[in-house]
Copies of this chain bind each other. A is one copy, B any other.
Amino acid sequence: MSNYHRNVPDGSVTTPRGFVAAAVAAGIKQSGRPDLVLVTADRDCAAAGVFTRNRVPAAPVLLDRETLAANRAALRGVLINAGNANACTGEPGLADAREMQRLAATAVGAQPEQFLVMSTGVIGVPLPMARVRAGVAALAPLLKAGGGPAAAEAIMTTDTRPKRAAVEVDLPGGRVTIGGMAKGAGMIHPDMATLLGVLTTDAAISPDVLDASLREAVAVSFNAISIDGDTSTNDSIVILANGASGVAVGDGESRARFTAALTDLCRQLAQMIVRDGEGATRFVTLVVTGAASAADARRAADTIATSPLVKTAFAGGDPNWGRIVMAAGRSGAALDPARLALWVETTDSPPLQLVSGGTPTGYAEADAAAVFAAPEFTVRLDLGLGDGAAMLWTTDLSHEYVSINADYRT
């Protein structure tokens, strides 16, 4: 939060003016729950997107990149299905994604190239297009301004709860609203679990500024829990700006405030994903400071956050700081063992220093155990070399995680 922006209660993608949404159960999820979502704007939108860097991108990712490359100024909406990823489906999969685009466009009287599509779910299985066709036909009459919450529910896969929020931000020219929804689950730093995010705003903003703001926001939010090379075939985050507020975002102050608000919204959604990580019982904020560079800090934080030994120690509430130091040691970050310092803290307890100069301080084991037993805590590792810093949110590796992922498909 800042002086210029704040949360809107019960926010969603339909909180900003001029956006409608709807969800139906099209029969794509085996559970029979709602699984097809349409979000559209009442006019042409500026649009931007960031997508997985996985070299086996799913068909909708290929199509959205193509769509945005050709048209970033006159988008109308996004059609999303859950239950099937349309990945590893070859040319027929790409044809199915194109048909989804046409179906959405036809349903609202727009052109195919005005729609983005997203898919999440099982891999290597053709989309049941007859169900998608019937589903989109059923969606059109249901579109409404209050449709955001149902949309956030329908895009879930192994998520246990929907993730949505909205912020309003006071710009020099007036107030604009940004809404969003996301789905994630998967291990935090979710490896290959799909992360989808849809953001909407009634700000009037150029595609270039929107793209830059989105990239800046994602780098310290969704990207600080996953994505960026370490991603699924389907990870996608898109934003649509319809200008319905009549308030412009340009350069300077308005752009700074808009980006700060968008960043805050993305961070809220990203943290919801971490808190709902598969089998998560801990929410850990990981801060690396004193690295020789920002890249080194990120490297160390990434390695700590993905280490099975660190994550199982978190699950066990075990203050096993040796595993954290070892993970940093194998991360590739420049490191001098004699300069390492490590603190842990909760919101209720002051920082407790466990390591100084690379060796244990005289801390009381019970104090350390109390921090690691908390459901949320912060680990701060200082490398003592420079001013490179990084912050990541992560969670533990629990029995429940194994259960979910050993049995997901079968």
Contacts and interface: CB of A to CB of B under 8 A. Distances in A.
Interface of A: 53-57, 85, 87-90, 93, 122-125, 186-187, 191-193, 229-233, 307-309, 312-313, 315-318, 320-323, 325-330, 332-335, 337-338, 340, 355, 357-360, 369, 397-399, 401-403, 405-410
B56 A313 contact: no
A327 B192 contact: yes
A223 to B, nearest CB: 14
Contact of A308 (B54, B308, B315, B410): B308
Contacts of A332: 229
B55 A312 contact: no
Contacts of A312: 401-402, 405-406
A320 B193 CA distance: 13
A292 to B, nearest CB: 12
Name the 5 nearest CB pairs between A and B, nearest first.
A316-B406, A123-B322, A56-B329, A312-B405, A90-B359
Q: Which label, helix, strand, loop or mixed, suits the secondary structure of the A interface? A: loop
Report how many copies the assembly holds.
Answer: 2
**Which of A318, A320, A406: most chain B CB closer than 10 A?**
A406
**Which of A56, A85, A230: most chain B CB closer than 10 A?**
A56
A328 B123 CA distance: 14
Contacts of A309: 186-187, 191-193, 405
Nearest to A122: B322
A359 B88 contact: yes
A339 to B, nearest CB: 11
A22 to B, nearest CB: 29
A308 B405 contact: yes
A155 B269 CA distance: 48
A315 B229 contact: no
Given A325-B88, A399-B399, A406-B316, A55 B330 contact: yes
